[in-house]
Amino acid sequence: MFFFPISDVNATKKKPVVSWIILISCILIFINQKISGYHFEQKTILSFGMIPSVLFNIKQLSDNLAIIPAYMTLISSMFLHGGWMHLIGNMTYLYIFGDNIEDELGKFKFIIFYISCGIFAGLCQALIDVNSEIPMIGASGAISGILGAYLILFPKKDIKVFFWFFIFIKIFRIPAMFVIGGWIFIQFFSLNSSEDSNVAYLAHIGGFIAGIILIIIFRKKISKQSKRLTKGSLPNSD
């Protein structure tokens, strides 16, 4: 059995320029990783991936690998991916859900939101084993934040889901609350097996929670700004 979201039924007012830039950047960086050879790819992952023991100054990278400060890898790691399925999965979710969050927040706030979710997700994963020497890469922490925000803003919007079970193939429309709710349930359920997996489930959960908190904060600020603008545009009663 296989099912996967392929699009949403939720039009935007503006083009999601930032989401497209992130998506294209991740694809181009990944292609460059692959065409440059195995050794270059490994060096890139070690230099720009987030390594907990290096982040917390427990271990040091060699001079030829320490290209940027360790704290910056919390951001650079978001643009690296380990394989085609890793990349395709993340970019599909960004394509489906990112445009609506960018449309809601605006470009600048969306950048702040995206990076903040990714950083928080990375820290959540790093803190469970500060001695780890395994690089953490991928945009899934930041994209998990987008899913959290989407759940708060558009819980009843339909998501088109591709479903395949043997010879049965169909595309269903399912409300976002069930699609995203099912996804976050899987992340919590999979935590027990995270030690035997290369998937950073805690980063997904951390990013998701960060997205919920941040979208509530941003929405309150947007609401206050809208009220000020509305009051300012009202004609004087004199």
pLDDT in tens, 86-126: 999 999 999 999 999 999 999 999 999 999 999 999 999 99
- Mean pLDDT for the chain overall: 90
C-alpha separations of 43 from 65, 127, 132, 216 in Å: 7, 24, 17, 39
State the average pLDDT over residues 31-38.
92
Compute the distance between CA of residue 50 and CA of residue 78 in angstroms, rounded to an integer. 9
Domain spans, the chain? 12-153+175-191+200-233
Residue 156 corresponds to which tokens in the numbers above? 């009843």
- Contacts of residue 188, defined as CB under 8 A and 6 or more positions apart, other chains included, come to 201, 205
Strand order in 168-175's β-sheet? Answer: 2-8, 158-165, 168-175
Which range has the worst mean pLDDT, 5-9, 53-57, 194-198? Answer: 194-198
pLDDT in tens, 115-134: 999 999 999 999 998 999 99
**What per-residue confidence (pLDDT) applies to 237?**
44
Surface-to-core class of residue 120, CB atoms within 10 Å of its CB (0-12 exposed, 13-18 middle, 19+ buried):
buried
**Above 60 in pLDDT, residue 48?**
yes
* Sequence-ordered alpha helix ranges (H) in the chain: 17-35, 38-48, 52-55, 73-76, 84-105, 107-127, 140-153, 176-189, 201-233
State the average pLDDT over residues 71-79.
97
Question: What's the CATH fold of domain 12-153+175-191+200-233?
Answer: Rhomboid-like fold (1.20.1540)
Helix (H, G, I), strand (E, B) or coil at 173: strand
pLDDT in tens, 163-194: 888 778 889 999 999 999 999 999 998 887 65
Q: Is the pTM of this model over 0.85?
A: yes
Q: What are phi and psi of 51, to 5 degrees?
A: -105, 115
Give the model's confidence band at 238: pLDDT under 50 very low, under 70 low, under 90 confident, else very high. Answer: very low
Give the model's confidence band at 199: pLDDT under 50 very low, under 70 low, under 90 confident, else very high. Answer: confident
